[in-house]
Structure 1
Amino acid sequence: MFTSKSLLFVLSAFLATTYAAPSSLNARKADVSATIEVCTDANFGGSCVTIPVVSDQCIDFTGGLAFLNEAISSAVIPDGFVCFFFEEFDCADSGSSSGDEVTLQGGTFPDFEAIQGIFGSPSFNDLASSLSCSPE
């Protein structure tokens, strides 16, 4: 059976694990990245998807995200982040009126009809083909 020494060892190990759990849980919470939500219809209707924010990484709306290409009409950007939506793939900043883009800082954007592109598009609704986000 158990000796008092072995029982004390098992109890000590249990208590160490129990008290260590909250700090490891907090560490895992800190590793969880922010996400943005984009939807194909205004007011967060249609098909919506949550996309993890990977700082300064370009996300093209191809492959599994192809249904979003030239279809985004609303978005939620977390506070403390800025996202750039591009009319072109590869987050191409054309620097001219041939391609447009829009910059959105943390907030809720229920209707891209009301968002004007920086090169003068009267609306950025159904134009985005790629995006890139980063902390402000």
Structure 2
Amino acid sequence: MLSAQVVLVALFLHASAASADDLAAPGSPNMTACSGSINPPVGCVTIPIVSDSCFNFVGGASGLDKEVSWVQVPAEYACTYFQNFGCLAVEEDDHATLTCGIWNMFDVLVPTASGTQNFNDLTSSLSCVRSGSAASDV
């Protein structure tokens, strides 16, 4: 049996030229990540959420590695975006958790030793969980 992540990568490899709507899994919640704008959509990919699983931007989604500028998190979910593959958080400034809504990663600020930095073009992996009342850590 294939793991959920392998199945997701296979979907992206098969449909890398497809529109974001074509990649959505029917009946499952999805989050959207865009390298350009979200409205109108430019460089957007819809990612089916497998709760508590790590999604790495590899394979058909590798074009988004370190290129995510906009995201849309569905209602009742919180997604954490990581600078590292494998959803690995080493430092306080290498991840950001966002709740439902549309987010411009330029506006998502994380603390650093010298102040704050935005999270634009930093994401390499993400993980989402169902969390109807979770608060953003940014």
Residues 1:72 and 2:68 aligned together: yes
TM-score normalised by the chain length of structure 2 = 0.69
CA distance in 2, matches of 1:65, 1:47: 10
Which protein is richer in helix relative to its size?
Answer: 1
Q: By how many angstroms is 1:121 displaced?
A: 4.7
1:3-22 correspondence runs (5 A): none
Q: Give the match for residue 57 of structure 1.
A: 53
* Identity between Structure 1 and Structure 2 (%): 34
With normalisation by structure 1, the TM-score equals 0.69
C-alpha displacement at 1:67, in angstroms?
0.2
**Alignment-derived partner of residue 32 in structure 2:** 37
Match of 1:8?
Answer: none
The residue type equivalent to 2:120 in the other structure is N
Which ranges in structure 1 are unaligned for 5 or more consecutive residues?
1-30
Query: Is 1:129–2:124 an aligned residue pair?
Result: yes
Runs of 4+ in 1 over 4 A off after TM superposition: 118-121
Amino acid at match of 1:52: P
Corresponding residue SS for 1:49 = strand
Give the residue type in structure 1 aligned to 2:98: L
Q: Who wins on radius of gyration, i.e. which is larger?
A: 1
How large is the Cα RMSD of the aligned pairs?
Answer: 1.8
The alignment of Structure 1 onto Structure 2 pairs a total of residues equal to 103
Out of 68, 79, 87, the position equivalent to 2:83 is: 87
Unaligned runs of at least 5 residues, structure 2: 1-25, 132-138
